[in-house]
Chains A and B, each alone.
Chain A
Amino acid sequence: MGLNIVVLVKQVPDTKNVTGKAMKDDGTVNRAALPAIFNPEDLHALEAALSVKDQYPDTRVNVITMGPPSAAQVLKDSLYRGADFVALISDRKFAGADTLATSYALKCAIEKIGSVDLVFCGRQAIDGDTAQVGPQTAEKLGMNQITCVSGFQAVDAKKKQITARRSIEGGYEVIRSRMPVLLTFTDEGFAPRPPSARRVMAFKNAVAAATNGASYDECYMNASACKDDEIIVLWDIASIKADPEACGLAGSPTKVKKIDSVVLTAQDIRMIDNTEEAIGHLVHELIADHTIG
């Protein structure tokens, strides 16, 4: 007895390793200068799905991502770790999507996969930290949700029930839900397994063609040119039956009014020498005006 699981993943610029080159002179972000990585919490979501497959080997783990062709890299990585099916949702018409338009496109793709028991994704992506796409997708699917999951207590494929531990401020909840349900994962549990050497050998060449020559954020692949037997399946807006009006910029209620690069207004700062004497004076002053004491 197996379950049908969809894992939503995202390729993100590695915002934790921002260097000087990451910002252009005009204050905008130079994405090309940032390495693109598998969004960290999504790897935990994938591991959670693979752990269900360990328990119920007939489980099918479907991984989908929305993004430019180069985002296929995270699908490749998912195959190496144990995914059964991967699909890239890519279309120029998705460009400029906010979280609402993104969740709509993901909902359409999940519906194309068919009858799904579980949808897993990371709590949030490190390029936006909004944590909105998971719950927004669940709502569009009419599914219950459990966010911020750090572990399972029970996955029951027969009763179609899942019991998960959810992190909350200063503690946790244990929630039981019927399937279908969408879960978002933190990085506290489900340490990702490494890619399997056997699977790397099996898929390495097969997926190379799909990812050739594409640069981050720039171009979109022509999905209609793709064959059914490709290992990385490409879906465009038509193949997931999405309404163009609800996608991309057109389907995004939020607009960026302006972007300010961070300019610090330097204030009067008193530099203190790094000597015992100077530090002693500072401490004395702070005691004298009752800041410390």
Chain B
Amino acid sequence: MKKNNVMVFVQQDDGTVADVSIELLCKARELADRLGVDVEGALLGKDLRGQAVKLLPYGVDRINWISHDKLAHYTPLPYTKFMVDLIKDRQPQIVLYGATTTGRDLGPRIASALKVGLTADCTDLQIGDHELAGTVYKDILYQIRPAFGGNIIATIVSPEKKPQMATVREGVMKLTPQRPGYQGEIVEIKADVGPELLQSEVLECVKEARTVNLKGAQIIVAGGIGAGTKENFDMIIQLAHALGAEVGASRAAVDAGLVDKAHQVGQTGTTVRPKLYIACGISGSIQHRAGMAESSRIIAINTDPHAPIFQIAHYGIVGDLKEVIPAFIKAYKNKA
């Protein structure tokens, strides 16, 4: 077993590992290969051996399973304590967290306890060198994220403190093919959860099934603030229905109340890679593009010919979506 590995906090909800954690294990494998080290997962909860076994084929060398009944549902104090203990023991050089409500609750506490850096919502992670005050730090983690309302892209490093830590949204990192028969170990660590750690009682937990499935959609018709009104946004929904597509939206459209947040595409929403993405009245901020730029085909419809969305689109229509969308629907119905 190598030392100073790349570690992923593996989130489980009701005993099932979150998709984002598997995506991060795949990215961790890539970073670890670059660094010549191993990949470790940190999994907290009860009865998780079956889940742990399923993770190994993603090129995971070791799952540290911290087991206790009281860790079945996430609460901040015990999770922080056991993650801090594990990091001190295993000394990873990098720790990655999904930027979920759980990861964003936990990661900062761990960073604060260990006095190390943490970069939120990275859209890319790379390995490279960094020079600081005459010292060259080899092979450190470049944590890349849009900042300042998306007007800039910042590369953040924390060369002097280990581990280097980052959170990443679901869908940003790609799944890589499994390697059947990959040899990894599962190490169960029995936790002792004292009463001082049990300050939060979860009285209720209500989750509705996802009604919006952006990640799995082949076609997405997305609307932005350019739609202006709910009535215009309804036209975007009509086009989606006609094409059998899912409805997406920019953050501005969500903030303006045109559509529910579940539809948001972008850095703080869902990252998507559909076959076809039709952007209607979306100017194309960097945060939005971070969530959809890898779509196979992009059609942009916008009244402003200088809107940044046109620079990543494959097809551009300069015009009012109130005219373009009905023409599109009409053409589709006539020819399909």
Contact = CB atoms under 8 A, between A and B. Distances in A.
Interface in A261-286: 261-262, 264-276, 279-280, 282-284, 286
Contacts of B201: 175-177
Contact of A175 (B154, B203, B276): B203
Contacts of B120: 128-132
Contacts of B111: 99-100, 132, 136
A100 B202 CA distance: 28
Given A129-B268, A175-B203, A292 B332 contact: yes
Given A145-B109, A274-B318, A173 B152 contact: no
Nearest to A146: B200
B159 A255 contact: yes
A100 B77 contact: no
Nearest to A261: B152
A253 B162 CA distance: 9
Contacts of B311: 264-267, 269
Contact of B314 (A100, A166, A270): A270
A274 B108 contact: no
Given A175-B200, A262-B152, A291-B275, A274 B121 contact: no
A272 B200 contact: no
A271 B118 contact: no
Chain B interface category by residue count: 35 or more
- Which has the most chain A C-beta neighbours within 10 Å: B106, B111, B115, B120? B111
A261 B319 CA distance: 28
Interface stretch (B55-63, B64-72, B143-151): B143-151
Interface residues of A, number: 82
Contact of B331 (A128, A133, A134, A280): A280
A69 to B, nearest CB: 22
Interface stretch (B1-9, B41-49, B321-329): B321-329
Interface of A: 13, 15-16, 18, 22-23, 27-29, 98-100, 103, 126-140, 144-148, 163, 166-178, 181, 252-262, 264-276, 279-280, 282-284, 286-287, 291-293
10 smallest CB-CB distances across A and B, nearest first, come from A15-B149, A274-B319, A253-B117, A171-B207, A139-B112, A254-B117, A135-B108, A264-B311, A136-B112, A130-B120
